[in-house]
Amino acid sequence: MKKWSLSFRLWHWLNAFVVLALLGTVFLRKTFLSWRDNSEILVTKLSSIQIEISSEQGALLAKAVRAPMWEWHIIMGYALSFLILYRIVLFFTPSGKQNYTDIGSASLHKKMVKVGYIGIYTVLVFMAGSGLLLTFHEELALLKETTETIKELHEAVFNLVWVFVAFHIAGVVMAEITDEKGIVSDMINGGEH
């Protein structure tokens, strides 16, 4: 039997793509499409061609330029929410639960890897839950302060996401070149038990 079923591999790579895409949208929002930086550019450049706009108008324009990109944060956010539900279903399959059975007999290193996975699942569930609350705050009639608090938490926990992703990728690359050769190709071709 394959170590990783086709459906689990599909889940893993779709999930990896979606999480990296979400991080990508945040990167763009905070760098090239930052409304603070771009509104300044707009105000100065327009002024150099004798068009005067206020910094508020600059901000409005910069946010309008950012909006189509940020829509992808929400689209990828919905995708992540579905992938989390799909992961729960996969837990009832051999591939989905193999990392979480016989934990007692695993080495300390393996135990830590498994705890790390449980940690990232918790973080992803939090990001999806808080992200959906932010998206539907009007429909849910959430108070302004509540929405602000959720946004602060969503933004703070984002740091755990990229830290995990960095450690995870470094970890599997290290495993691949040391004592677990084939660990990455197993996640591509399914591997053998």
Task: Report how far residue 176's alpha carbon sits from residue 75's, in angstroms, rounded to the nearest whole number.
Answer: 33
Q: How many residues bind ligand HEM (CB under 6 A)?
A: 37
**How far is 144 from 31, CA to CA, in rounded Å?**
27
H/E run at residue 86: helix 55-90
- Is 73 a binding residue for ligand HEM by CB under 6 A? The answer is yes
Structure tokens at 171: 């970890």
Q: x/- string (CB under 6 A) for ligand HEM, residues 117-156?
A: x--x------xx--xx-xx---------------x--xx-
For residue 2, state whether it binds ligand HEM (rule: CB under 6 A).
no
123, 160 in Cβ contact below 8 A? yes
Q: Name the DSSP class of 136.
A: T
**Residue with the shortest CB distance to ligand HEM:** 131
| Candidate list 78, 86, 94, 126; residue touching ligand HEM; CB under 6 A | 78
**74 near ligand HEM, judged by CB under 6 A:** yes
Please say which residue, 74 or 142, places its beta carbon nearer to ligand HEM: 74
Task: Indicate the residue among 43 and 80 with the shorter CB distance to ligand HEM.
Answer: 80
Minimum separation from the CB atom of position 167 to ligand HEM (A): 10
Show contacts with ligand HEM in window 91-120 (CB under 6 A).
99, 117, 120
Q: Using an 8 Å Cβ cutoff, are 185 and 191 in contact?
A: yes
* Residue 95 CB burial class (10 angstroms; 0-12, 13-18, ≥19): buried
Q: CA 122: distance to chain centroid?
A: 12
Q: Which of 186, 145, 163 has its CA nearest to residue 1?
A: 186
The yes or no reply on residue 160 touching ligand HEM (CB under 6 A) is no
The footprint of ligand HEM (CB under 6 A) covers: 12, 15-16, 19-20, 22-23, 26, 29-30, 73-74, 77-78, 80-81, 99, 117, 120, 127-128, 131-132, 134-135, 151, 154-155, 158, 161, 165, 168-169, 172, 183-184, 187
